[in-house]
Each structure stands twice: as C-alpha cells, then as structure tokens.
Structure 1
Amino acid sequence: MTYKKAQVISRKSNNTPLTKPRALSLRDYISKDDEPDGKYKILLRMKTPYQRIAVVELKNGKVLVYGDGYVMFGTTGDDNIWAESLVHIPMAAAKKQQNVLMIGGGGGITTREVLRYRGVNTVTVVDIDSKMLDLGRNLKQLVKFNKGSLSNAKVKTVIRDGRAFVEKSQMKWDVIIIDVPEPSHDSPGLSRLYSREFFTLLKNRLTTGGVISIACSMISEMPEFCWSVIATIKAAGLYVLPYHYDARKKYGEDWCFCAASNKPLASSDLNIKISTRYLTSSKLKSMFQFSSKYRRKWSRRKIQTDNNKVLADIHERY
C-alpha cells in the first residue's frame, strides 16, 4: 500500500512545450539493490496510479512482488516469518479476535495467518491499490501461498486510502494490523499512517482489550526509525510492547514490530493458542529483548506528526 507524489511536468517558458515523461526502464520496476541473485523471469510489469508493480519468478519457482523497485512481499520463507511476527503477537495479546482490520497486506499473507483463528468473524483488508489486491486474489503462486485468503467468505476487501477509511468508519475492531511501507521522501503521504494523529484515531477504534500491531522496519539498519514509531505511539496515549525478529543469520535483517493497546501489555501474558512455525517458546523470549546497541539509539527518537517529515528523513539518511 503506497502513496506517491504526483508526477510534476514543468514548463521552461511560455514558448517551451511540456516535457515528455521519460520512458520507464527495468530499474524503475526492479531496483539494483533489490534485484534477485541469479536468473529470474519477469512475469508482469504494470504502472498503477500509485506505484510501479513488477512480479518476478525466481529459478526455484517462488515469486517476488515489487513496488516502485523494491520487494513488497512474495512466497519466500521470510514472508512467513514476517506474517507470523506481525499477526500472532497482537492476536495473542487481544482480549477477543472476532473483528480484525488490516491496513495494507494486499498479498493476503497476513490475512492467511489471521484466518487460522476460529474465533475470527470478519477481516477487513484495506489497500489503496486495487492491482495489489488483484495479485493476492488471482496470481496462482500467491493464491497457493496465502491459501486463497482474500477470497474467503470472512474477508472483505476495500479499495481505499487506509487513513480515510478509518476516519469515515465508526466501527471498532479487536485487532488492527498496520502493514505498509516506510514513509520516504518519494512517498511522504505514508507518514499519515505513522503519525501521532493517526494512532490517536486508532486508539478510539479499539474495542475493550483490543490491540494494534505495527511493522516498524529493520531495527538492524534504522534503529531510530523503530524507536521514533514507538515514541509516536506512546505520544498518542497508548501502551506499547516493542519486539523484534532477528533473522540476520539467514536473511541479514532484524525486523522491528510493536503491539499497542489502551491497557498495559506484558510479554509474560502472551499465549499463542495456535501452532506456529517460527515463533517457538525460545524465540518468543528473545523477541522482547533488545541488545544494548539498539537501546542506545532510543535517545534519538522523535515524534512523527501529520505536519513533519521525521520518519521520511530517517529513511533518507539510511
């Protein structure tokens, strides 16, 4: 779920014609930094009003979905780890799991994990880009991977800006999951999904005992980003339980998340009632412990609001 600035076409003078948009290249769809190792096949390239999307098939048959040059999700092992981490902590912490709101997650992978709970009645998946949801519903490799989650009778998909949807809705949810890209100077509008004002709005959309989870990027590369998101959530009046999944040995990354609620949360109270592949008891214990090299960056935290560029500036520095 991404937001892009409108393309600017400038006029040099009254006698100069409008500049023609340049032809898009492979690098507009698959950045050099995120290009797969080895041989791969491009299955699809398309430009939507919000982003440039590419679907790539790897030599092992797995697929990756790119948004504006960078991997958004796919059918790889790290997608399973990400989904388990983002979903099962808030589902375990929430008093109920009947009604779930998902902002982002067009690939249907996190929705697949939510649907594993028998007590779930409805899952509302909100994404601004209909093409991303189309991929999650129709791309055969993704449908097999997400177990057809976006076509499940319990799931309602909404094509809309996530912030606008929540502002207009009067519903309350037991679990709210935010799975959107980081704000950047190229996508400044995403800051409104990480701001103090938005978290204040979500605070009022929780049922009693409800829990929010937020993906906070890679703490191994941008610890200030993670701490600033957490500080922003606290500034909105919510209690926060930060955690991370250290996948540096296999994937070279350490992903940060946090759970938030109107009541205090403690890792000792968590009881994941379904089987998980990656969230073992020993792993769960380590997920709530942060090394001193990360904790030292806490002093650099800043508050994201609707009117500043705190998180985009951090993203730009890294």
Structure 2
Amino acid sequence: MIEFKIGVLIGACAVLIIWGLIYWRRQWLESYIMEEEAPDGDYKVILRKRSAYQKIAVAENNGVYHLFADGSEMFSTDKAEDQYSEAIVHIPMAAAKTRESVLIIGSGVGNTAREVLRYEEIESVTAVDLDPFIVEMGLTFEPFVNFTNGSLQDPRVKTVLDDGRKFLEKSNDRWDVIIIDLPDPSYHTPELSQLFSVEFYRLLKSRLYPGGAISIACSVVSTAPEYLAAIRATLKTAGFHVVPYHWDYIVEFAVDWGFCLATLKPVDPLSLEPLIPVKHLTEERLEDMFLLPRYLRVEWDEDEVQTDRNMLLAEILEGEYLIEKPE
C-alpha cells in the first residue's frame, strides 16, 4: 500500500512537472509569437532571437515568411504587405510637389523603401530604424531581400541605426516626403509615445520642404477608431492639414488599417492618384480609402492630443480611454 501511494505521488508530481513545462514553453513561445498573431494553419518557426531591443521571430507558412517583434507581426511576404506598402507610400508621393528625397522612420526590412525606389526622381532615401538586427535581416535574409528587391542595398538608400526622434533632433536636413511606419505606443514601450506626440510632429514640420507630404501609419483602426481621430487631432495641433484614410482588409484579412496624410497646405484627396503603375490602388479603391466608414467617424475633442507627457494613444489601445460614440 505504501509503495502504491508513493507511486501515485511520483506519478502526480511527474504530471505536474510535465504540465508546468508545457505551460512554460507556451508562455515562452507566446513571448515571440502571440497565439492570436500566429499564421493560420501549420507553420514552422525558423528563427528566434532576442535582439538588443526586442524578441524577434520568423515563421514560414506555405512559402510566406512572417516577421514578429515581441509577439506581434510586423512584416510578411504576402499580398497584404504589398497593399499596406502601396497605401503608406504612394499617397504621400502623389501629394508631394517633388519626390527627390524621402525619409522613412521605421524602415524595417525595406518594404516601404522598395516602393519609394520605384520613382525615377528619387535621389536619396534615408531609412531610419532602431534595431540593427531587423536591418541586417533586410540586407541579408534571402526571403526578405527577394520580397523587397534588395531595397536596403540600393546605393541611393542611406541606412541610419537610431531612434527616429533623436535622429531628427540631430539633423538639419529636410525631405520632400516623410513616411512614419512605427509600432503602436504602449505601456510596455512608453518611449514610442514621443514619436507620435505634438512635439514630435512639430519637429517633422520643420524637416519637411514646403511642398512636402507625410504619411503616418495609424494602427488597426477596426478595433480602435479613436486612435485615428487622436492622431489626426495631434497633427492638426502641430500645424498640419490632415486627411485621414484607411485600407479596408475586412473581406480578406479581417482588419482595417488607418493612415493620416499630413501636408503644409490643403490637399484635395479625391484628386490624388498614383504617379506610377501599382497593383492595388485602383480608382475605386482610392475613392473608398478617403471616404471613411461611419464607425471611423468618431466624435473627438480636438484638445485631446498625444504629448510628450501623456499616454493617450496607449490608453486608447488598452481600452482605458472611454469615449461615447455617436448613434
């Protein structure tokens, strides 16, 4: 009987250890690829690395490669990435009077630089990113290099490893087009709030040529439409004319991305069209992009803006900033 009880106890302990290891492994994996962000179906994780700034993972699924940072997907070699790149690049390029110099803050592995380099007028692209490992992947990881046409290797591209704000504070250069493609600010990364603040946008204004244009990625607005409204208000406070737009992935990918076009003079958005051949920005799509659906037209106090001293955008994304939506 004693032997039996000991055996049961040992067995129970073994089960607890196994379940503990399974739970630990799952938590560890989720820190690299969150379950809700994982590719559909079976996928293979081919790389995990903790860089100086974040946990990086690359997964492959049916020939598509997905790049994750701290569990969230930041890039993939698929149609959705092509659509996103066209939306964030070709709208400001069409709005700007000239397109000789472009600044990309949050250049990543080079997908936005790829689209920028398609313009013959381009003389220089300044690609700023904080994480050297991400940039290195854009330069050397074959699936990414193939997808971006080796954009970061182009002699017209100057890669800068720095925080985007610190870089601008040290630089006196100006650009025709500025593209801001950054992760969402959060309580986990509070420093990112200062790359969405009215103080930062005023700095951008001083670095933009008079006929220039800026595009800013505004997260998945299908889950947080107030986020787009807050960024729009912040840009207006900084002195920009702002046109919000969106790319509705709902049918294919179940998300809707928001963007803001910021200029120093008013722009008629319905007059904008790509200046070079593109795959996805059709005439019908362009019209839809600038006609915001009802759920994105939230009421917003124009005095509620992101500053260097608050966490407004993080509060919105965390669901802690409550606003009464119109009926």
**Alignment TM-score, normalising by the size of structure 2:** 0.88
Identity, % of aligned pairs? 46
1:43 is matched with which residue: 27, 41, 46?
46
Structure 2 residue aligned with 1:168: 170
- Any idea what the Cα deviations from partners look like across 1:176-234, whole Å, max 9, x if unmatched? 00000110111111101100000000001011201110000122111011100010000
2:305 is matched with which residue: 299, 303, 306?
303
Structure 2 residue aligned with 1:10: none
Structure 2 residue aligned with 1:189: 191
Structure 2 residue aligned with 1:280: 282
Return the alpha-carbon distance in structure 1 between the equivalents of residues 303 and 256 of structure 2: 18
Asked whether the equivalents of residues 90 and 274 of structure 2 are also in contact (C-alpha less than 8 Å), the reply is yes
Return the alpha-carbon distance in structure 2 between the equivalents of residues 50 and 267 of structure 1: 37
Structure 2 residue aligned with 1:260: 262
1:241 is matched with which residue: 236, 243, 247?
243
Structure 2 residue aligned with 1:159: 161
Return the alpha-carbon distance in structure 2 between the equivalents of residues 157 and 120 of structure 1: 15
Return the alpha-carbon distance in structure 2 between the equivalents of residues 160 and 129 of structure 1: 8
**Partner-residue secondary structure (3-state), 2:36:** coil
**Partner-residue secondary structure (3-state), 1:25:** helix
- Any idea what the Cα deviations from partners look like across 1:122-177, whole Å, max 9, x if unmatched? 00000010001011111111111000000001101010011000010000000000
Q: How many residues align?
A: 296
By how many angstroms is 1:301 displaced?
Answer: 7.8
Structure 2 residue aligned with 1:25: 28
By how many angstroms is 1:271 displaced?
Answer: 3.2
Structure 2 residue aligned with 1:14: none
- Any idea what the Cα deviations from partners look like across 1:14-68, whole Å, max 9, x if unmatched? xxxxxxxx9981111011111222211111111112100001111x111000000
2:58 is matched with which residue: 55, 58, 62?
55
Q: Mark the runs of 5 or more structure 2 residues left unpaired by the alignment.
A: 1-23, 321-327
Counterpart mapping for 1:135-146 below 5 A? 135-146=137-148
Return the alpha-carbon distance in structure 1 between the equivalents of residues 114 and 64 of structure 2: 18
AA in 1 matched with 2:149: K
Bigger RCO (CA 8 Å, 6+ sep): 1
AA in 1 matched with 2:285: K
Return the alpha-carbon distance in structure 1 between the equivalents of residues 291 and 161 of structure 2: 37
Structure 2 residue aligned with 1:97: 99
**Partner-residue secondary structure (3-state), 1:33:** helix
- Any idea what the Cα deviations from partners look like across 1:247-304, whole Å, max 9, x if unmatched? 1000011111011011111113323210111100111011110122221344598200
By how many angstroms is 1:309 displaced?
Answer: 0.4
1:219 is matched with which residue: 177, 201, 221?
221
Asked whether the equivalents of residues 223 and 297 of structure 1 are also in contact (C-alpha less than 8 Å), the reply is no
Structure 2 residue aligned with 1:16: none
2:181 is matched with which residue: 166, 179, 182?
179
Asked whether the equivalents of residues 88 and 179 of structure 2 are also in contact (C-alpha less than 8 Å), the reply is yes
**Partner-residue secondary structure (3-state), 2:169:** helix
Return the alpha-carbon distance in structure 1 between the equivalents of residues 298 and 200 of structure 2: 27
- Any idea what the Cα deviations from partners look like across 1:93-116, whole Å, max 9, x if unmatched? 001100000000212111000000
Return the alpha-carbon distance in structure 2 between the equivalents of residues 43 and 272 of structure 1: 37
Change (3 A) 1:297 1:223: farther
1:200 is matched with which residue: 199, 202, 205?
202
Q: Mark the runs of 5 or more structure 1 residues left unpaired by the alignment.
A: 1-21
Structure 2 residue aligned with 1:19: none
Larger Rg: 2
Structure 2 residue aligned with 1:77: 79
Return the alpha-carbon distance in structure 2 between the equivalents of residues 275 and 177 of structure 1: 20
Return the alpha-carbon distance in structure 1 between the equivalents of residues 109 and 76 of structure 2: 8
**Partner-residue secondary structure (3-state), 1:317:** coil
Alignment RMSD (CA, Å): 1.5
Asked whether the equivalents of residues 218 and 226 of structure 1 are also in contact (C-alpha less than 8 Å), the reply is no
